[in-house]
A and B are shown apart, each in its own frame.
Chain A
Amino acid sequence: MTSTDLPVRPAPAPRPPRIRELSAGRRRPPSGRTHLSLGESRLARVLALAVLGVLAVVWLLPMAWALLTAFKSEPDASDPVHWLWPRHGLTLDGFRTVWERGDLPLWMFNSFLVSAAVTVITVLVSAMAGYAFSRTRFAGGRWLFALTVAAVLVPPQMLIVPWFRQMLSLGLLDTYAAVILPQTVAPVMVFILKKHFDSLPRELEEAARIDGAGHARIFWSVLLPLSRPMLAAVSIFVFIGAWNNFLWPFVSTSDPALMTLPVGITSVKDAYGIQYAQSMASAVLAALPLVLVFLFFQRHIVKSVATTGLGGQ
């Protein structure tokens, strides 16, 4: 979502071991001594730990509180006096009600479908274009690449009105296609992947060419397998971006059956605004998929931030 011509730092290739250290969550750098080490002073260490601890609590508190509320019974959820120790104990009622109402699983499915489609199309199409701009020359190629780079500046937010008009006239409003297609144009991904292909060694490719491989074969069987970490990084960002996208799905769908999670969940608030336990239960359920994905792929996600150096709101 965030786009600028500056996010991409020079090729990350020279530093793989360090990035791995970062993502492996090693407790301290292997030298045993850190660059920012607080020296021998025990006071400094305690102080730093205290500040970090307070920050972490402040950051975790909202989620912990949402979790607590989700497990409360409805009267307890809106009881300001016994907010920490609910009188009726903890219950799964909130979750049960929300799940049985049925729209939350549907929105999750929609979000998953839309995000997966956006990711597959965007990454494939951008990788092909990145390959074309990096490894081949064709009429107008340089000019088209310059145009693509310039388009990085266009905020998708300014396109919602013409997109809406376009979908209206194509009769696509309130379809998956309307939600998916405009999100698949990602000039910044083409730029990143072009730079990435630029950085790959040419020897393998030339060997393949001598063996008679054409462009399709070189792209698919030589370069893509070499690019797995980069493709994973780019895919993760496209997926998170699509999963969290709000404005366009909000504008392009009015049919509740097509709503994605971020859009649908706001209608929970509107319709059942006073049911705090249920509303927090839906928030928790809605947050769960991506948090689980993160826990599984933590190392890759951290690495991908370092690799591509982009993302954003």
Chain B
Amino acid sequence: MSSPLAPPTPGPRSARRLLSPGLLFALPFLVLFAVFMLWPLGQGLWMSLTDTSLSAHSPDFIGLDNFSEAVRDAEMWRALGHTLWFTALSTVPLVAVALGMALLVHTGLPGQWVWRLAFFAPYLLPVGVVGLLWIWLYQPDLGLYNHLLDGLGLGQVAWLSDPSVAMSAIALTTLWWTVGFNFLLYLAALQSVPDHLYEAAAIDGAGAWRRLWSITLPQLSRITAVITVLQILASLKVFDQVYLLTKGGPDNSTRPVVEYVYDVGFTGYRLGYASAISYIFFALVVLASAAQYAALRRREK
């Protein structure tokens, strides 16, 4: 009775198990899970093996043709490359800046409430608002940032229309928008570093830098690993802010793979091919997770 997984009442096993309360409790979730996740996953896999399109003709089974086409599709590789590039560009600052913010706020300087609000508030904005706001900020002639650059005597920047700058501009927007979340995670982690470590260090005469370097940062390494994993997985899925800021342009130079799926499926009407690319994207996410899981495991040892 008291074992965690024991059924509440022993009884005639088979009959009771089939209609067990456990199954009834799990049922609503299981139904939604089957209908809106497992079935679409299977459906997507099936579509990726056919030439399903949005127009009415009945699809033909074409085997792995979609996948072999995808492998030879330069645009898909380009889009995958953009996704990886965005992930690299966004993850490093999103972890580092969040850590810096949390360390500074945690030093106990006055105005805690203001700092927390300032850094976290953007995270609450719907992406549509973020898009609207940053298009305005990045305006070539009217935008705030070019104003400021002008004021400093520096030249203007074509933030969203210069292919060599656009992706960095999107990463900058993403940093501004989402860093607050990582910041809060770090802040929570800092609160739970045990006092006695610092007390011992203080007795040994360790200075502020020394304590930061030898106690705080090592104590944060686990949460840093977790934040990095979360961030990489989130960045690989980027679509919204890119679509809103540049529509993937200029000249598709910022189009990530999720947008390519959208373009192929909903403007190109090729649902089968879009499904194949979805599965390639999925493989990338699984691969990234597996690699990170392995790295974390090794680290914990």
A→B interface (CB under 8 Å):
1-7, 9, 15, 18-19, 21-22, 25-29, 31, 34-39, 41, 44-45, 48-49, 51-52, 55-56, 59-63, 65-66, 69, 77-78, 80, 83, 111, 121, 124-126, 128-129, 131-139, 141, 144, 148, 151, 153-155, 157-166, 181-182, 184-185, 187, 190, 198, 202, 206, 209, 214-216, 219, 240, 243-244, 246-247, 251, 261-266, 268-269, 276, 279-280, 282-283, 286-287, 290-291, 294, 298, 302, 305-306, 309-313
Which 8 residue pairs are nearest across A and B when measured between Cβ atoms? A136-B22, A129-B29, A138-B22, A162-B40, A306-B188, A262-B128, A265-B128, A132-B25
User: Across the interface, do A313 and B237 meet the contact criterion of CB distance under 8 Å?
Assistant: yes
- Interchain Cβ contacts within 8 Å, total number: 364
Interface hub of B1, B124, B223, B265 (most chain A Cβ within 10 A): B124
User: B282 interface residue, CB < 8 Å from A?
Assistant: yes
User: For B112, what are the chain A residues with a Cβ–Cβ distance below 8 Å?
Assistant: 25-27
Contact with A along B247-286 (1 / 0, CB 8 A): 0000000000010011001100001001100110110011
Given the known interface contacts A62-B133, A247-B240, the answer about A185 and B126 at a Cβ–Cβ threshold of 8 Å is no
Q: Are B25 and A131 in contact (CB-based, < 8 A)? A: yes
Inter-chain contact B25/A161, CB cutoff 8 Å: no
Contact status A166-B39, CB under 8 Å: yes
The answer to whether B218 has its CB under 8 Å from any CB of chain A is: no
* Contact mask for chain B residues 7-35; partner A; CB cutoff 8 A; 1 contact, 0 none: 11000000001101111111011101100
Residue ID in chain B nearest A307 by CB atoms: B188
Docked pose: A199 CA to B40 CA in angstroms? 33
Q: Are B127 and A246 in contact (CB under 8 A)?
A: yes
14 CB-based A-B contacts, threshold 8 Å: A15-B191, A22-B187, A22-B191, A27-B112, A45-B109, A51-B104, A80-B142, A128-B26, A164-B271, A185-B29, A202-B4, A219-B25, A262-B129, A287-B124
CA distance A36 to B2 in the complex (A): 45
Number of B residues, CB within 8 Å of A: 121
Q: Is B78 positioned at the interface, with any CB of A under 8 Å from its CB?
A: no
The residue in B113, B125, B141, B207 that gathers the most chain A C-beta atoms within 10 A of its C-beta is: B125
Contacts of A39 in B (CB 8 A): 207-208
Collect the chain B residues with CB atoms within 8 Å of residue A80's CB: 141-142, 147
Which residues from 205 to 229 on chain B have a C-beta closer than 8 Å to any C-beta of chain A? 207-208, 211-212, 215-216, 223, 226, 229
| Residues of chain B within 8 A of A66, CB atoms compared | 133, 136
B102-117 interface code vs A (CB 8 A; 1 in, 0 out): 0111111110111111
Contacts of B110 in A (CB 8 A): 27
Neighbouring A residues of B157 by C-beta, 8 Å: none
Binds A, one of B41-49, B60-68, B163-171: B41-49
A interface: dominant SS: helix
Having A136-B7, A161-B278, A215-B22, one finds 14 other A-B pairs with CB under 8 Å, namely: A6-B226, A28-B108, A34-B106, A62-B144, A129-B30, A133-B22, A157-B278, A165-B47, A182-B40, A269-B135, A282-B132, A286-B126, A290-B124, A312-B230
